[in-house]
Structure formats: structure tokens, C-alpha cells
């Protein structure tokens, strides 16, 4: 599996947005490799994924549901560890919000209140582009990356 990052998506964005995206895409790669290498264990450990696959072949969407249901906490924890290594002093909630990047079409995200959705989307958009959901310039909390 090959992951390609579009550097245009990160112009004005932060190192935190890039770190989140690398973690997110790594999970996709892990799931593909796991099912290819050890399908029996994968079918047991990710039975939800297999059940969903039988009714819908939206591979990306199903993987996003797996990330939300099983792995989003790990993404946040890794971002929190990154925070410690980089010396950021931001609340854990910020990293949990950022972890939702790429998962906005999941049922779990859609079940959040509009206020929570907007808070999360603002964190994601500002870190990725330096622009909030209302189109206003807003400085990312992370170090500006200048793109990938």
C-alpha cells in the first residue's frame, strides 16, 4: 500500500495537522496489511469490519468507522505524546478533537451536537489550513509547517 500526501492541503497548516494525517493514514495501511497477512486473526479482531463489508463495499468508510470505534483514542494519545516531545502546552481535548480529522462523515461524528462538531471542525481546519470553518484566518496552535 502506498500513501500519498497532497502538500497543497497543508499550506498554512501546522506540524500537528501533518502528524495527525500520518497517524490516520498509517492506520489505513495497518488495516490493509493486517487483513492481507493474517486474515483469520483480522476477521476475529475486527469482526465489525467484516460484517460491514458484507453489506457495503465502502472500504474507506468502513475503515473510518473502525478507527472511530477502536483506534481514535490511540491517535489522540500519540498526538499527546508528540505534544510532550515538542513542548506544546495545549489541553488533551485539543488533541482528541484533532484526531477526528478525516472522520467527519462517520455516524459517531454526526451524532455529536452541532456545537461539538463545530469545535472539532475548527480545530481540524485551523491546524490544516490556518482558516476556521467560517473562512476567517486563524493561527494554528502547532508550528506552521509550510506544507509537506
pLDDT per residue as tens digits for the range 123-143: 999 999 999 999 999 999 999
Residue 7 belongs to some domain of the structure: no
- The mean per-residue pLDDT over the stretch 8-22 comes to 85
pLDDT per residue as tens digits for the range 53-104: 667 777 788 889 889 988 999 999 999 999 999 999 999 999 999 999 999 9
In angstroms, the CA 37 to CA 135 distance is 44
In angstroms, the CA 46 to CA 31 distance is 9
Residue 4 belongs to some domain of the structure: no
The domain total for the chain is 1
Residue 85 belongs to some domain of the structure: yes
**3-state SS, residue 117:** helix
Q: At what angle do helices 15-37 and 114-129 cross, to 10 degrees?
A: 100
> Please, which pLDDT band fits residue 148 given cuts at 50, 70 and 90?
low
Q: Which domain holds residue 123?
A: 14-129
Q: What is the pTM of this model?
A: 0.86
Residue 51 belongs to some domain of the structure: yes
Amino acid at each position: 500500500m502506498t500513501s500519498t500526501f497532497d502538500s497543497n492541503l497543508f499550506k498554512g497548516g501546522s506540524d500537528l495537522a501533518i502528524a495527525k494525517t500520518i497517524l490516520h493514514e498509517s492506520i489505513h495501511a495497518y488495516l490493509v496489511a493486517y487483513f492481507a497477512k493474517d486474515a483469520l486473526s483480522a476477521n476475529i479482531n475486527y469482526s465489525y469490519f467484516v460484517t460491514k463489508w458484507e453489506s457495503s463495499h465502502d472500504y474507506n468508510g468502513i475503515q473510518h468507522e473502525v478507527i472511530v470505534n477502536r483506534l481514535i483514542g490511540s491517535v489522540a494519545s500519540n498526538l499527546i505524546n508528540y505534544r510532550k516531545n515538542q513542548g506544546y502546552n495545549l489541553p488533551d481535548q485539543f488533541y482528541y478533537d484533532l484526531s477526528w480529522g478525516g472522520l467527519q462523515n462517520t455516524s459517531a461524528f454526526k451524532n455529536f451536537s452541532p456545537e461539538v462538531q463545530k469545535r472539532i471542525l475548527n480545530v481540524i481546519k485551523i491546524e490544516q489550513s490556518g482558516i476556521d470553518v467560517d473562512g476567517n484566518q486563524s493561527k494554528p496552535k502547532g508550528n506552521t509547517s509550510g506544507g509537506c
